[in-house]
């Protein structure tokens, strides 16, 4: 049986937090264990370049993100795990696809349209002010990421669905002009993906500044848990677990039975202080070994390089011959052929 090819990119900026872990990293690692799939997972560092022009941030984020995925259980022997920038064929394919993509298609991309709309609302003379070609072409680079490996199922957040549809359009156009070459990718959106609240009760997100970094040092981690917003009910008063940030976070890391037990403790009036202490100890236990492995990898970047180099080699075993075939199809081939 041929395996379904699952492919997804991780934009490499920032330090992963509890929300990223429960909502994206853990489910992706679990999915990669499915016998019927073959997973391609990569650090989208050339995508990061569009949003960030700080070389040190790009370097630090790539390292932290690679170490996080490996420390949380991604098995590089099972999954093809690589850095986008290690696969030159992706960028070459990006140009080939750029050459057959209608500009009008890119005009319709949400991120670009939002930038233009913001300029218009601010009465800018130039509607494209501040828009770089990287942002404009972003969906084509994403398409090249996917088509280079004939990715079939693409797990993404809702905001990325449009990009996968564009990838299908571009793949179809290539197939129409040059003959059947690419399979048509399909977005997989996990509606049940967990959304974890942050310190202030809103969705945990870097843009709200309310995150708890996944591998924060123990002392700081305890402090952050203690900072989570609760209400003013006293110990002994029954409390409602629904809508409670502490309970939501606990639930993302436990099964039904543990949650039922915790509901009872809320009903029995457990105090917020005790609850925070309990949650800290619980999460710390869950994350301790992973944090240690993360710190070990962060202190040994040469090992990260070795793992990623092996991943790149595995990936290029697909991309190099496939690109040779694509070049031939478009007429870029040895003169003697």
In the three-class reduction of DSSP (H, G, I as helix; E, B as strand; rest coil), residue 11 is classed as: strand
Span 158-187, contacts to ligand TRP by CB under 6 A: 160
Residue 92 is encoded by which pair of tokens? 């070459």
Residue 146: CB minimum distance to ligand TRP, A:
5
Length of the chain as a residue count: 337
Residue 6: count other Cβ atoms within 10 Å of its Cβ. Answer: 22
Q: Does 204 bind ligand TRP (CB under 6 A)?
A: no
Q: Give dist(CA 173, CA 270) in Å, integer.
A: 61
Shortest Cβ distance from residue 42 to ligand TRP (Å)?
Answer: 8
Question: Chain centroid to CA 134: how far?
Answer: 19
Asked if 8 touches ligand TRP (CB under 6 A), the answer is yes
Q: Which of 146, 147, 214, 225 binds ligand TRP (CB under 6 A)?
A: 146
Burial class (CB in 10 A: 0-12, 13-18, 19+), 221: buried
In the stretch 113-142, what mask flags binding to ligand TRP with x, by CB under 6 A?
Answer: -----------------------------x
CA nearest to 19, candidates 264, 224, 309: 224
Contact pattern for ligand TRP over residues 35 through 74, marking x by CB under 6 A: ---------x--x---------------------------
Compare residues 11 and 181 and give the one whose CB is closer to ligand TRP. 11
* Spatial contact of 1 and 48, defined as CB atoms under 8 Å apart: no
| Phi (first) and psi of residue 198, to 5 degrees | -100, -165
CB closer to ligand TRP out of 65 and 283: 65
- Residue 16 Cβ, how far from ligand TRP at the closest point, in Å? 13
- Residue 9 sits in the site that holds ligand TRP (CB under 6 A): yes
Q: Name the site residues for ligand TRP (rule: CB under 6 A).
A: 7-9, 11, 44, 47, 142, 145-146, 154, 156-157, 160
């Amino acid at each position: 049986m041929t395996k379904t090819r699952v492919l997804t990119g991780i934009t490499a900026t920032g330090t992963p937090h509890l929300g990223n872990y429960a909502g994206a990293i853990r489910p992706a690692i679990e999915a990669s264990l499915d016998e019927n799939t073959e997973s391609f997972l990569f650090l989208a560092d050339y995508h990061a370049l569009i949003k960030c022009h700080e070389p040190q941030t790009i370097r630090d984020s790539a390292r932290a993100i690679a170490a996080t995925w490996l420390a949380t259980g991604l098995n590089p022997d099972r999954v093809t795990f690589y850095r986008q920038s290690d696969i030159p064929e992706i960028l070459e394919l990006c140009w080939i696809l750029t050459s057959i993509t209608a500009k009008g298609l890119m005009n319709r991309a949400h991120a670009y349209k939002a930038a233009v709309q913001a300029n218009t609302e601010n009465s800018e003379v130039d509607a494209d002010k501040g828009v770089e070609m990287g942002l404009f072409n972003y969906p084509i680079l994403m398409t090249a990421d996917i088509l280079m490996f004939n990715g079939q199922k693409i797990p993404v957040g809702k905001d990325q669905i449009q990009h996968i549809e564009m990838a299908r359009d571009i793949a179809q156009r290539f197939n129409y002009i040059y003959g059947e070459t690419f399979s048509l990718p399909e977005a997989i959106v996990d509606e049940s993906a967990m959304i974890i609240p942050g310190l202030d009760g809103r969705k945990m997100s870097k843009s709200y500044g309310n995150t708890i970094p996944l591998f924060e040092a123990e002392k700081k981690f305890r402090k952050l848990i203690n900072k989570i917003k609760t209400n003013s009910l006293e110990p002994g008063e029954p409390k409602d677990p629904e809508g409670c940030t502490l309970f939501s976070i606990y639930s993302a890391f436990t099964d039904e039975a543990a949650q039922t037990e915790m509901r009872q403790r809320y009903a029995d009036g457990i105090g917020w202080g005790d609850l925070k202490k309990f949650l800290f100890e619980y999460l710390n236990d869950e994350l301790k070994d992973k944090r240690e492995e993360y710190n070990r990898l962060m202190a040994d970047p040469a090992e990260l390089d070795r793992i990623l180099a092996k991943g790149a080699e595995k990936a290029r075993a697909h991309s190099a011959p496939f690109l040779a075939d694509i070049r031939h199809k478009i007429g870029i081939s040895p003169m003697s052929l």
